[in-house]
């Protein structure tokens, strides 16, 4: 059991590390999206298989050194949850970045309008 327990620990720690690194990195474009979708498809297939053949899950668990299939499922969920946090955190940041830029542009263009209005009122020049 000892050597195999290390295997699942290695896998889990590596997965957590990958998620942590993804958290600190800015997102790339099409490749990231494609990988995410492929991973989702693989997840669906794996889910169906584990439902249809519960024994396979247990066998896979035993292979990486985990006693029961349900435990493996729990570990996988933890990783999936962490990566979900990572993804949504990044999305939120991008979203608030956009809101900031939008609000700033609105504020500055209001100021420009006000000044153009003041100039136009006094000097009779057309507003731009």
Partner 1 sequence: MQDSHADDWLVIPLYNEATVIADVVTGALDVFPNIVCVDDGSNDGSGEAARRAGATVLTHAVNLGQGAALQTGISFVCEQPGARALVTFDADGQHQVADADAMVALIASGETAIVFGSRFLDGRTKPGFMKRTILTFAVWFTKQSTGMRLTDAHNGLRAMSVDAARGVHLQQDRMAHASEIVLQLGRTGLPWREYPVHVLYTDYSRGKGQSMWNSVNILVDLFFK
Q: Nearest approach, Cβ of 85 to partner 1 (angstroms)?
A: 10
Spatial separation of the C-alpha atoms in residues 87 and 76, rounded to whole Å: 16
Residue showing tokens 């608030």? 96
Report the residue number, 21 or 40, with the smaller CB distance to partner 1: 21
Q: Are 64 and 76 in contact (CB under 8 A)?
A: no
| Strand, coil or helix: 53 | coil
Interface region with partner 1, contact rule CB under 8 A, candidates 44-52, 60-68, 73-81, 96-104: 96-104
**Which range touches partner 1 (CB under 8 A), out of 23-31, 43-51, 63-71, 73-81?**
23-31
H-state helical runs in 53-68: 54-64
Question: Which residues bind to partner 1, rule: CB under 8 A?
Answer: 23-24, 26, 89, 93, 96-97, 99-100, 103-104, 106-108, 110-112
């Amino acid at each position: 059991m000892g050597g195999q327990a290390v295997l699942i620990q290695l896998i889990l720690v590596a997965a957590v590390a990958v998620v942590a690194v993804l958290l600190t990195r800015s997102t790339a474009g099409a490749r990231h999206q494609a990988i995410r979708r492929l991973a989702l498809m693989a997840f669906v297939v794996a889910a169906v298989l584990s439902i249809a053949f519960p024994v396979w899950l247990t066998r896979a668990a035993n292979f990486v050194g985990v006693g029961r299939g349900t435990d493996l499922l729990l570990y996988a969920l933890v990783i999936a949850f962490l990566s979900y946090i990572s993804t949504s955190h990044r999305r939120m940041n991008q979203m608030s970045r956009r809101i900031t830029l939008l609000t700033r542009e609105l504020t500055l263009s209001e100021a420009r309008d006000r000044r153009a209005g003041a100039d136009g009122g006094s000097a009779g020049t057309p507003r731009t």
